[in-house]
Amino acid sequence: MLENSFGLSFFLKTPRNASNVRNIYLRITVDGIPRETSTKRKWDVNRWDQNSERAVGNKEDARALNFFLDSLLMKVNECKTELFYSGKPVTSEKIMDYILGRITPRVKVLEEFESHNREMAALIGKGYAEGTLDRFSITINHLREFLRIKFNRVDMEFADLDLQFIKDFEFYLRSVRNCSNNTTLKYLANFKKIVLRAIDKEIILKDPFKNFKGRKTKMIKKPLSSQELYALENHYFTTDRLDVVRDVFVFQCYTGLAYIDVYQLKKTEIKEGIDGKPWIISARQKTGSETNVPLLPQALKIIEKYKDNALCRQRGTVLPVSSNQKMNEYLKEIANLCGFPFTLNTHMARRTFGSTVTLANNVPIHVVKEMLGHASVKQTEAYAITEQASIGREMALLDKKLNKNDNKMSKADIAILGKLEKEIRMIKEKYNIHTV
């Protein structure tokens, strides 16, 4: 916000005892409200020009003093600029606090980070999930270790944060912690939230992330194909441990439930749907959004298999789901036994439901969005990795048109052919598919 009036002046303040050497003061006036402070410098009144508000002469001490006063002036203008761009009111008190360093020393980075995490912990289940707190806890641990290694310090003031600090922390995460590009940017995003929180609380004025650039690597996380899902469903395992994990994973493939949702799924959440058949009617643990999923025969078969399971009866849950760590550990073993050239994880099941089970079978994407509990179709589009199936279907239609009536096509056929070719090009460009 622009101030109505602004004034800045340097002047010599007359001491109680008569003396030519006086203290140099800085006065800042904004909208008629003055604030003044000593610059901690003294100067001879006979070598001072009040019109220019500077020391006179070319001696080294005069040049040094004038340079110091110019630096103070630059600092004042810098503070005004930061306040303006942050949309905060410019006041003489805020500028004086900035000049005197009253804003930054009392609050340190890790102290504010820990305060944020304590508040988040108190709101678990009331807007935050346990996993979110875990990610911020990991971030503060990385930051604490970085400060110890790089600066040999247990904490630091927000005033010491700058762009170089952010870049050094990024380098530490990539090199020492061996984090991938996307993981590094997630930790930096968590840290940036703390910095923005400090700016909102007026602990600092500058945003050290202002000129930081980072771009996430687009990850293509493929689902199981229909052939791979069939092979998994019909594979014989010699141990009950792997058999149970496979069944839970396959259940996710046919319902789209995330790990935490299938872990917490209660028998009371299996209800009669609008069509009179069994549905899962519950809320997602992550977002609280409603999930309504009609149960397919494959999912019902698994529910029936474990209806008398001792662990299910004890928990009151539908399936005897292990911890996420154990699930992913056993899924790696299952992938090896099934001969898959990739690693299975619990979230791949959700992608398989969104892509192979539903979208690939012409279920409209807005319907899939509702079953997955997504907030927007854009989220669901990330699950729509069905390019090979889509291209296969379109090429089959194209082949049929090309060979219809011994290659004699009507104008309508030619128009349809042009439309199909355009759609195929768009699919290839979207998924970066090159034909040899």
Please write the tens of the pLDDT for every residue from 349-408: 988 998 888 888 878 888 888 888 777 777 777 666 555 556 666 677 777 766 765 555
What's the pLDDT score for residue 285?
Answer: 62
In this prediction, residue 126 carries a pLDDT of 80
DSSP single-letter state for residue 358: I
| Pick from 237, 281, 233, 277: nearest CA to 257 | 281
CA dist 214 and 368 (Å) reads: 32
pLDDT value of position 299: 92
> What residue ranges of the chain have pLDDT lower than 50?
104-105, 435-436
Query: How far is 201 from 197, CA to CA, in rounded Å?
Result: 6
State whether residue 266 is helix, strand or coil. Answer: strand
Phi and psi at 263, nearest 5°, equal -65, -40
What pLDDT does 205 receive? 78
Distance between CA atoms of residues 208 and 189, nearest Å:
12
Q: Name residue, tokens 């979230």.
A: 347
* pLDDT at residue 413 in the model: 66
Which structure tokens are listed for 104? 């930054």
Hey, what amino acid is at 361? Answer: N
- pTM for this predicted structure: 0.57
**Per-residue pLDDT tens digits for 162-175:** 999 999 999 999 99
Task: Output the six-digit token pair for 114.
Answer: 């820990």
Alpha carbon separation from 295 to 140, 318, 372, 396, 413 (Å, rounded): 42, 13, 13, 32, 41
For residue 270, give both structure tokens: 């299996």
Q: What distances in angstroms separate CA 55 from CA 46, 67, 119, 155, 369, one per listed residue?
A: 9, 10, 53, 41, 72
The vertex-77 CA angle with 162 and 60, nearest 5°, equals 90
Q: Cα 21 to the chain's mean position, in Å?
A: 58
For the beta carbon of residue 138, count every other beta carbon within 10 angstroms. 15
- Beta partners for 27? 9, 36
Residue whose entry in the numeric block shows the structure tokens 């052919």: 417
**Nearest of 333, 336, 331 to residue 352 by alpha carbon:** 331
CA distances from 197 to 105, 202, 309 (A): 16, 9, 48
The Cα–Cα gap between 31 and 1 comes to 12
Question: What pLDDT score does 191 carry?
Answer: 97
Measured CA to CA, the distance from residue 337 to residue 333 in angstroms comes to 6
Of the candidates 115, 80, 59, the residue with the CA atom closest to the CA atom of residue 3? 80
pLDDT at 104: 47
Place of tokens 């707190």: 133
Question: Please, is 215 exposed, middle or buried when counting C-beta atoms within 10 Å of its C-beta (0-12, 13-18, 19+)?
Answer: exposed
